[in-house]
Amino acid sequence: QLQLVESGGGLVQPGGSLRLSCAASGFTSRYYAIGWFRQAPGKEREGVSCIRLTDGTTYYADSVQGRFTISTDNAKNTVYLQMNSLKPEDTAVYYCAAVRPPLATMTPLGSWGQGTQVTVSS
């Protein structure tokens, strides 16, 4: 019922910025939260950030705290991830997904889409 499509990735220099978008179709009001995950080659998928749809409460992984900001539009049909001060270790495919409570567990629901590639390299 909920479909999420990621976009906005690309190649950026260390210290640069990107904004990822997660476009939602379906009734987002039926879901608790939307989160961003990432997976680098040869590494396990990890939770990056998520936002609770009812009140905008957010969670950030320690590795991105202070550099990334998650937000939604007023209709809650798009979830953004503003990524600043990017580091080479941020290089990964980024995915969004519905998230189960509590926020900090970053437990995804539903199927994964294609994701969007973020490459940070000098």
Query: Quick one: pLDDT at residue 103?
Result: 93
High-pLDDT (> 70) share of the chain, %:
100
| Residues in the chain, total | 122
- Please state the three-class secondary structure of the chain as a single string: CCEEEEECCEEECCCCCEEEEEEEECCHHHCCEEEEEEECCCCCCEEEEEEECCCCCEEECCCCCCCEEEEECCCCCEEEEEECCCCHHHCEEEEEEEEECCHHHCEEECCCCCCEEEEECC
Q: What is the pLDDT of residues 20-53, one digit of tens each?
A: 999 988 777 788 999 999 999 999 999 999 999 9
